[in-house]
Amino acid sequence: MEQPVSSIPYSDTGYFNQLVIDFLAEHPHLRPFYTYSPVKPSFEDVIKAKKAHPQHRETLVAALEQQYQGLAASDAVKANISSLSDLNTFTVVTAHQPNIFTGYLYFAYKILQTIKLASQLKEQYSTYNFVPVYYMGSEDADLDELGHVYIDGKNIVWPTSQQGAVGRMQPEGFDELINKIKDALGHGAYSDELITLLRTAYLEHENIQDATLYLVNELFGRYGLVVLIPDSPALKRLFIPVMRDELQHQQSHKIVNETTERLSQHYKVQANPREINLFYLTETSRERIVRIGDTWKVLHMPIEFTATTLEKELQEHPERFSPNVILRGLFQETILPNIAFIGGGGEIAYWIELQDLFAHYRVPFPVLLLRNSFLLVNSLSQQRLQKLGLDITALFGDVEVLINQFVQKHTNASLVLKDEYAAVEKLFDDLVEKARNIDVTLEATVGSERSKAIKSIGKLEHKFLKAEKKKFAWQTEQIRTLKGKLFPADSLQERKENFMPWYIHQGPAFFDLILEKLDPLSDQFGIIYND
């Protein structure tokens, strides 16, 4: 029997900001900041724009083939990499940092949505080929964000003192980390297979980005997903003209600032540009570059350049320059024949700052799509909801409000003292008239007593509800348990949990299920009932 799926508008979840909601609705305040509709995009137009833009396909294919050396790539992956040499092949991209053990559930959702969209586009446009790409943000240095994984209430942290780009870090101490994960996961039909996969990924590879490449390829390679690590001298060389212009003229600061000034009239700005939006990258550090007069300095390092030595460094070591969030998308769209980018709310928020920057460098702006979001509900949770007579959507709200509503709905007692409030109001209305006839100054006294009486009834109402809740102790406990299980730490499941607790029981079929339920152009938050 097919699993039932329902959905809820993003605006009704309470977990997405107004910018995301307005983005999907194509609100007039936001629509000028992106090129194509996020729900009904014109792929013909973006393909046409990308075909007219110079491509560097030979360099891209060579870089990918080098990255995949020694990996057991599927025939689908090999075919997709090879096809990128063809002028009629385009990519669909999602990007994410190399979180250890993939980090959050939405990591898998983004990748699967990319795979699904590429597949649908192949069916829709038979004269073209479309390759799903996971663009690894391996130069990110935020270890606090990337260096932990949450499994069934346990936050497992990688205790390393390494610094710099996380992708370049050595996976030291992962033997112990994997043992902790094994204990946290417990037993499942695919437990041993998964733990073996993790050990091979992290204990037999030199750094985190290579470990992540191996892991993602093993999990998603059968779908033809191509993993791209942009931390490559050959790929960075393609971006030298923009990096040179950034270092010499700081164009992105001015252009993006003008955009964010307009954007900030209605929304909170996600990312503010710096004067120079490049980092200097070494094996153990990732530091900002600042310009002081005719000298470029690397902060916190004894490194500085003149115009001549800076150009020499760019030509000889382009891999040492790392775009930040303002230039990262431009780099991605420079090295890939890309037509669509799938990202979360935060990613969409900074991409919509960049349209004018793309126009300045004459790089086609891609279709922006919000990643699919899901809540996975197992059969036990579904049974509890049915027993309580609750719809799953009720759990998106405040749990205490839900409990109060549940008790008020099912109690035989009158817990809302509506009539009593009305009676008190009438009583004091009469007293105000009497006070006015006796001494007008007494009206203030009557008003004060009215407030006290209303507060007293409110306290009684609260005590009545509190007393009645005790009669529904098991129901209220079940509601709290469900909320905690499905919304860990009062967050969306996908922003907290990892894929592994589901994978150990279902194996690759778990991803097949998500892939089946995905709608790449959906504007709804999905709910999947998953046994």
CA-closest candidate to residue 371, choices 352, 351, 344, 339: 344
pLDDT of residue 183: 96
CATH architecture group of domain 15-232+326-373+497-513: 3-Layer(aba) Sandwich (3.40)
The residue-averaged pLDDT of 277-301 equals 96
Q: What are phi and psi of 367, to 5 degrees?
A: -65, 130
Q: In Å, how far are 12, 89, 314 from 361, measured between CA atoms?
A: 39, 23, 19
Mean pLDDT of 241-255: 97
Query: Could you give the percent of the chain with pLDDT greater than 90?
Result: 82
Tokens of 222: 């059968």
pLDDT value of residue 421 = 64
Count Cβ atoms below 10 Å from residue 334 Cβ, excluding itself: 22
Mean pLDDT of the 228-255 span: 97
For residue 215, what pLDDT band results from cuts at 50, 70 and 90?
Answer: very high
pLDDT of residue 443: 81
| pLDDT, average across residues 304-320 | 97
Q: For 341-387, what is each residue's pLDDT tens digit?
A: 999 999 999 999 999 999 999 999 999 999 999 999 999 999 999 99
Average pLDDT over residues 5-27: 93
What band does 444 get if pLDDT is binned at 50, 70 and 90? Answer: confident
Could you tell me if 195 and 175 are in contact, meaning their C-beta atoms sit under 8 angstroms apart? no
Other CB atoms within 10 A of residue 461 CB? 16
Residue 298's Cβ-side half-sphere holds a number of Cα atoms within 13 Å equal to 18
pLDDT above 70 for 120: yes
Of 38, 15, 139, 12, the residue nearest 351 (C-alpha) = 38
Task: Answer yes or no: is pLDDT of 292 > 70.
Answer: yes
| Cβ neighbours for 262, distance < 8 A, ≥ 6 positions apart | none
- Rounded Cα–Cα distance for residues 393 and 403 (Å): 14
Return the HEC string of 387-455. HHCCCHHHHHCCHHHHHHHHHHHHCCCCCCCHHHHHHHHHHHHHHHHHHHHHCCCHHHHHHHHHHHHHH
Supply the pLDDT for residue 2.
42
Answer whether residue 515 shows pLDDT above 90. yes
What's the pLDDT score for residue 210? 97
Closest Cα to residue 361, out of 478, 238, 458?
Answer: 238
Specify the long-range contacts of residues 53-56, CB closer than 8 Å, at least 24 apart.
53/362, 53/363, 53/364, 55/87, 55/337, 56/238, 56/334, 56/335
With 90 as the cut, is the pLDDT of residue 434 above it?
Answer: no
Write the pLDDT tens digit of every residue in 392-430. Answer: 999 999 998 898 888 777 665 554 556 676 777 788 888
Kindly state the average pLDDT of the residues 491-506: 97
- Checking if the pLDDT of 3 tops 50, the result is no
Amino acid 427: pLDDT: 81
Neighbours of 401 (CB within 10 A): 10
Return the half-sphere exposure (C-beta side, CA atoms, 13 A cut-off) of residue 141.
19
User: Alpha-carbon distance 46 to 366, whole Å?
Assistant: 7
For the chain, the domains span 15-232+326-373+497-513, 240-253+264-324, 398-490
148: CB partners within 8 A, 6+ apart = 100, 155, 156, 157, 158
Residues 18 and 11: their CA atoms lie apart, in Å, by 8
Name, in order, each residue with C-beta under 8 angstroms of 108's C-beta and a sequence gap of 6 or more.
Answer: 102, 219, 499, 511, 514
- Work out the mean pLDDT of the chain and round it to a whole number: 93
On whether the CB atoms of residues 407 and 472 are closer than 8 A, the answer is yes
Quickly count: other Cβ atoms within 10 Å of residue 261's Cβ. 10
Predicted confidence (pLDDT) at residue 200 exceeds the cutoff of 90: yes
Between the two ends of the chain, the Cα-to-Cα distance in Å is 12
Backbone angles phi, psi at 361, to 5 degrees: -95, 5
Half-sphere exposure of 414 (CA within 13 A, CB side): 4
Q: Is residue 167 within 8 Å of residue 136, measured between CB atoms?
A: yes
Complete DSSP assignment for 283-325? SS-EEEEEEETTEEEETTTTEEE-HHHHHHHHHH-GGGEEE-H
Three-state secondary-structure class, residue 73? coil
The pair of three-digit structure tokens given for residue 398, joined into one six-digit string = 């405040």
Phi, psi of 226, deg, nearest 5? -105, 130
Report pTM: 0.89
pLDDT of residue 39: 95
